[in-house]
Amino acid sequence: MKLTMETFFDGVFAIDLDTILSLEFADINDNHVGIDVNNLKLIESTPTTYYSSKDGINKSLHLISGDPMQVWIEYDGVEKQLNVTLAPLYYPKLEIPLLSTSLDLSSIFMDSMYMGFSSSTGAIASSHYILG
């Protein structure tokens, strides 16, 4: 069997927390959250913000800031709905997700798959941690 880039990306699902603008991957800016499915090109993305109930507005959240953040990734298999919510650490989970899309993960997930955490930094050194 000949391996191609399409073969390599079969069964890939990623939530992309991105701090680098890469036009070849359809990035919208250098501070966004996106969804990748079987490809590195985003199927959906949005600038990184969170709703501040104290101020009553959406506020920018800078992924490259070094400030701890929390991310909720939730999937409803019956409704086929994926929600991604992002907020500063210790901020309560927001009622309205940052990114919400209809997606049937059963067509992406396989019987046997790997799960993991990955990061890259390009030319800028940085650290990435999973806090919990």
Range of the domain at 93: 5-107
Domain contains 58: yes
Confirm if 102 and 81 have CB atoms less than 8 A apart. yes
Please report whether residue 131 resides in a domain: no
92 found inside a domain: yes
Output helix, strand, coil percentages for the chain, rounded to the nearest 5.
10, 35, 55
Tokens of 78: 């019956």
Has this prediction a pTM greater than 0.85?
Answer: no
Alpha-carbon distance 97 to 20, whole Å?
Answer: 22
Give me the torsion for CA of 62, 29, 120, 118, rounded to 10°. 80
Number of compact structural domains in the chain: 1
What are 85-121's pLDDT values in tens digits? Answer: 999 988 888 888 999 999 998 888 888 777 777 766 6
89 located within any domain? yes
- Within a domain: residue 120? no
